[in-house]
Amino acid sequence: MNTSPNSPDKPVVRLKPKVNARALRHGAPWVFDSDIVTDRRTKALAPGTLAILEDAERKPLGLVGFNPASRIMARMLDRNPDAVLDADWFAARFRRALALRENLFDAPFYRLIHAEADGFPGVIIDRFGDTAVVQPNAAWADTLMEPLVQALREVTGVTTVIKNASGRARGLEGLDDETGLVCGTLPDAPIPVPMNGATYMADLVGGQKTGLFYDQRPNHAFAAGLARGAEVLDVFSHVGGFAMAALAGGATSALAVDGSAAALELAQAGAAQSGFADRFSTRSGDAFDVLTKLGEEDARFDLVICDPPAFAPAKPALEAGLRAYERVARLSAGLVREGGFLVLCSCSHAAGLDKFRTACARGIGRAGRTGRLIHTGFAGPDHPQMPQLAESGYLKALFFAL
């Protein structure tokens, strides 16, 4: 049997007899290895094979990207089992995604594709003007990069496409970690990105993820509204995240803390580009160590923001992650002046909002402080959530008045 992508003779994979297909029929995008009949034939399929998924009664459910090496063994691509994933198929989905972003933003700097919610399971695409950074975090997308990139260029007009293969997700799929240029010309300097009245510098090749975190844009803006006349501390700052937005909002000063000296250099370049250099400073080091030292120095700020990496990227790490979030809350709450504000963020999908909020409240209490929760923020609208996939609502930002 020909099992190459888009072969007319697609293999069939089937749900186990006792697996209820109702969730899949109602839009759930993932099928785990424990739910699929696996035999020598299915295990021999190449990662990224397009297959027809059937329920236990042999009724087709749709076309899936199949990977026997992944715990998410099948990802729903199209409810039509006869769909052909060519450039036209990709272009139709790109047009829909682009129309939404062009309604939301005046400039072409945004997340263009947010995986399952935009009809591209496991795929992230961030746009930086004429350049797009693609993270094909699922084997099916790796296999079909050629028509994907062709459609991306035709629909959006981008001239440079970079494949970013870093991160945990590709490892879970058994994929390589080779980042590089797909087409166009690699930028020879960081890309300036206008956002919330500031200019951020994004390293699209050597930076974290795709070079910038667009998801926090609305939370940066809300924090900026609290920052007028404030002294600000931004911990886990990356390239200046909250600090730059706060300075654009009228903060008198902002101190950015991060473990990456390279990220802080980009933050300083962005501050200079934005005209904030005289109000902006950085401190490199482990965030927990710096928070502890600032407490020992009796440093105090009007607005403190902590936006750490995912401490609980998966359920096995949940309890340790919640303890880490509690520790961040405790160390940072003590640095907030009376009547000031504390912003605590989590990008861990395994730590749901309730558990994260409880950990933060416990940490604030352990610091001897009390806080009112005045706002809960989520990822921006260019990071749409898929109602059938809880993991798509990963970002939480809690704003406390202490």
* Integer Cα distance of 248 and 184 in angstroms: 33
* Integer Cα distance of 216 and 124 in angstroms: 16
Identify whether 347 is a catalytic site residue: yes
What DSSP character marks residue 190?
Answer: P
Strands (E), 3-59: 12-14, 30-32, 49-54
Edge-to-edge strand ranges of the sheet holding 12-14: 12-14, 49-54, 60-66, 72-78, 30-32
From the list 306, 345, 347, 360, the catalytic residue is 347
What is the crossing angle of helices 241-248 and 261-274, to 10°?
20
Phi, psi of 57 (to 5 degrees): -90, 10
CB 33 within 8 A of CB 73: yes
* Integer Cα distance of 119 and 96 in angstroms: 10
Active site residues: 347
